[in-house]
Amino acid sequence: MRKDFQFGSLCVHDFTKKITNKSHQLPIYATSSFAFENLQQGIDIFSGKKEGHLYSRYGNPTIETVADKITRLETYGLEMEAKGFLFSSGMAAISSLLMANVKSGDVVLTQNNLYGGTTYFFNEILKPLGVASIFTDFGNLEKVENELKKNKAIKMIYLESPANPTLACVDLEKIAQLAQQYGVKTAIDNTFPTPYLQQPFKFGIDFIVHSTTKYLNGHGNSISGMVIGKDVDFMLEKVWKIMKLVGTNSNAFDAWMLNNGLKTLELRMDRHCQNADALAHFLQKNNQVKKVNYPSLDSHPDFDLAKKQMSGSGGMLSFELKGGFESGLRFVDQLDFCTIAPTLGDVDTLVVHPASMSHMSIPKEEREKVGITDGLIRISVGIESIQDILNDVECAFGKV
Ligand SMILES: Cc1ncc(COP(=O)(O)O)c(C=O)c1O
């Protein structure tokens, strides 16, 4: 190689091209585009004749490695094909999936107790584009079938199970069967349970979305989302096209942070379940508590269903204080060890009082319909030593 390059060129170019060993950890491909060895290679990759990367909005080795890992987790032990893409957030994943599946005049059948951002997306973005949403109770299968019977414009059933904040579960097998009968596609937000505790493909669901920002990352240090579909051609054509043209793709750094979190998913989920179960039983014994929502308590309305379709109840729970709104405020404010933060699924215990925080703008009658009462507290139980969580909660009860 020539040795006489000028100072400015030495600054710009990377002359050491040969990497002799594979890196132990996944490299971060912080590059917008990929260079070709020669023109023919470029033509072959552009035309699809040869595999390779072009531009990071279309695909990037760091991002694809992580997307493939999550796809393998969602299909673990199942005899099936699937394809997944990683997006810039859970909302980017949800909106891209919907854009790929519905057009003006179509209708989405969904539930009342969705993550707030998804409800806003249906009402504020899809509705003005001509896609209406029907909000129903997926616990009432007769009602669901009636909706499907009378409304042929329904093209997708979109659900969450377990759902915020009461951890209500939807019978995935029965919903998938009904949807197939009426030629409707199904999608589930599997953020709360993760594929470690629930694999919706097993029950016939067509698409899975995640806010990977939550349990899959687990450390609260990156934002991303995932769509996985069992129709590989649809994913490669429609969903990939939306990601590429709307630009909803993830970035290499956030994908890499997510990958670090994924390495301990199994260990973390076991501990989340163990800690949440212990806290749920502890709360149930407290006389200031009216009700505890956690699927593995036999008082939970979906105890049997959760047992059938989940291998553990996860780290999310909620409970209702007898003292209402004021007690809710006082309880949260007295916590010292647990953190007040509007996210979930991290290694540390996170608490919100929905009535005064996430759902403060929703009229009381509306939020109460989906179980968000004045005294409701939601806890994302972390993986700390359980005694410290119990001590903090007990201490806060003493000051309510
Ligand atoms: C269940 C669920 N789905 C989707 C989202 C949206 O994810 P993101 O914040 O990564 O866009 C959230 C965010 O809190 C969520 O809790």
Question: Whole-model pTM?
Answer: 0.97
How remote is the CA of residue 24 from the centroid of ligand 1, in Å?
A: 31
CATH class of 41-262: alpha beta
- Look up the CATH superfamily of 265-399: Aspartate Aminotransferase, domain 1 (3.90.1150.10)
| Ligand 1 atom 10 nearest Cα | 90
User: Is 44 annotated as catalytic?
Assistant: no
* Ligand 1 atom having least distance to the Cα of 191: 1
Catalytic residue among 29, 83, 155, 189: 189
What's the DSSP call for residue 15?
-
- The pLDDT tens digits along the chain (400 residues) read 788 999 999 999 988 776 678 899 999 999 999 999 999 999 999 999 999 999 999 999 999 999 999 999 999 999 999 999 999 999 999 999 999 999 999 999 999 999 999 999 999 999 999 999 999 999 999 999 999 999 999 999 999 999 988 999 999 999 999 999 999 999 999 999 999 999 999 999 999 999 999 999 999 999 999 999 999 999 999 999 999 999 999 999 999 999 999 999 999 999 999 999 999 999 999 999 999 999 999 999 999 999 999 999 999 999 999 999 999 999 999 999 999 999 999 999 999 999 998 888 888 998 898 899 999 999 999 999 999 999 999 999 999 9
Q: Distance of CA 53 to CAs 46, 121, 245, Å? A: 9, 32, 16
- The CATH 3.40.640.10 portion of the chain extends over 41-262
Structure tokens at 108: 């989405």
User: Is 115 annotated as catalytic?
Assistant: yes
Q: Where in the chain does DSSP place strands (E)? A: 83-87, 107-111, 132-136, 154-160, 185-189, 207-211, 225-229, 289-293, 316-321, 339-340, 350-352, 376-380
| Ligand 1 atom 2 nearest Cα | 115
Q: What sign results for the dihedral spanned by CA atoms 339, 367, 365, 361?
A: positive
Measured CA to CA, the distance from residue 54 to residue 43 in angstroms comes to 11
Measured CA to CA, the distance from residue 207 to residue 26 in angstroms comes to 27
User: Is 270 annotated as catalytic?
Assistant: no
